[in-house]
Amino acid sequence: MGYATVHPAWPRDLTEDWDRFESAIPEFTERMAIYDEIAAKGKPPAPHYYLGVIGVRPDMHGRGVGTQLLRSFCDLSRNDPLSCGVYLETAQESNLGFYERAGFAETGRGRLGRATLWCMYRPQGSR
């Protein structure tokens, strides 16, 4: 899950569902505001692809599946003349090495409650 150089608008029904979800969880709006502030500092200013979620079942770890998924997404960015690279965030310290081996570098980090949020960017031409 992610998006290309232009963030698509959410469909109306999804926006309404999100608003209900957000209002049902105490302090969720404040937590998302902190998340957005941290992410805004780490994002590149030029158009880029955003990788929101990538995942592989634990029993499939170590087989190259995640690497191939990530490579495919980075290839989409590389083939888009408007994109300067790929940006993502992770709250799992264990993911940092995976992304660094793929050419991502940390562009910022911040505290999100007890968790740390790392911002990472891979410019075009990396690996």
Alpha helices of the chain — where are they, by DSSP H?
12-24, 28-42, 65-78, 96-101
Chain mean pLDDT for the chain: 91
Q: What angle do CA 38, 44, 45 make, to 5 degrees?
A: 110
CATH for the 9-123 domain, from 3.40.720.10, 3.20.20.70, 3.40.50.720, 3.40.630.30: 3.40.630.30
**pLDDT tens for each residue of 24-64:** 998 888 998 999 999 999 999 999 999 988 888 989 888 99
- Domain positions in the chain are 9-123
Q: What value does the mean pLDDT take over residues 100-123?
A: 95
